[in-house]
Amino acid sequence: MKRSLLTFIILLLLPSILLAEIQGDSPKYKHQREEMVLKQIRRRGISDEKVLNAMAQVPRHFFVPKKLSYKAYSDHPLPIGEGQTISQPYIVALMTQYLGLTGSERVLEIGTGSGYQAAILSKTTKEVYTIEIRKKLYERTSKLLKSHDYKNIITRHGDGYFGWNGAAPFDCIMITAAVNHIPPPLLKQLKNKGKLILPLGNPFSYQNLVLVTKRDDDYTVKQIIGVLFVPLTGYALDKK
């Protein structure tokens, strides 16, 4: 009888123990996060303490599919389903640092995706507006962000091409989806001296970033070469 009872209790508790291991922020994941920040981000030149703190705080494994959570802190992008990806941690940190956030900005993100980038932004600025066009992804991520109490993130299901007129103008805009041109409506919703950043290239291969700065009627586009490119271009120039 006692043995049966014990088996019953174990069976009852086992799922919750396993679930806590997968979904909770265990010491194992905290340790992996610290390692990630040190080896993949700080050592590659990310120095903004706000960004580093945010990367150390936000549990990335919440934002990846459960079966890949053991890879959440690895140095590469991961698929999140439906052909979408969660960016490599370094790219997330690099994009956030280049916005030069002081903590008082209003930021618009086009392409909520997994919600990880929005979560990082929410730790470094005042308000984050994020738009996702894929309904399933929007519903899943909105629920996730709400359940983890990211109060300064406002999500919306819609077409990011036209921005968010009701909340414009924005200090910064971040486009996380691949585009072949920068949508003119987004440029209009950018404040003067505002910044717009987007990644270039395939998420599984290599990415460099494009930072657009609005100055009155002109735009400058700064190509921020991902750290991965530096040896190659450096080599090419050494050969001069």
Q: Which residues bind other proteins (CB under 8 A)?
A: 67-68, 71, 74-76, 78-79, 82-83, 133-135, 159, 161, 180-184, 187-188, 200-202, 204-206, 208, 210, 212, 217-223, 225, 227-229, 231-233, 235-237, 239-240
Structure tokens of 67? Answer: 């079966």
Minimum distance of other proteins from residue 232's CB (angstroms)? 3
Residues 6+ apart with CB under 8 A from 68: 78, 79
Residue 123 vs 214, nearer CB to other proteins? 214
Cα distances (angstroms) measured from residue 213 to each of 99, 198, 218: 10, 12, 9
Annotation says 74 is catalytic: no
Structure tokens of 86? Answer: 């969660």
Residue 125 vs 176, nearer CB to other proteins? 176
Residue 49 vs 216, nearer CB to other proteins? 216
Whether 197 and 95 have beta carbons less than 8 Å apart is answered as yes
User: Per the omega criterion (within 30 degrees of 0), is the bond before 169 cis?
Assistant: yes
Q: Which of 69, 87, 122, 142 is catalytic?
A: 87
Structure tokens of 100? Answer: 């030069």
Residue 69 vs 117, nearer CB to other proteins? 69
Give me the residue label for tokens 């922020």: 25
Active-site annotation, residues: 87
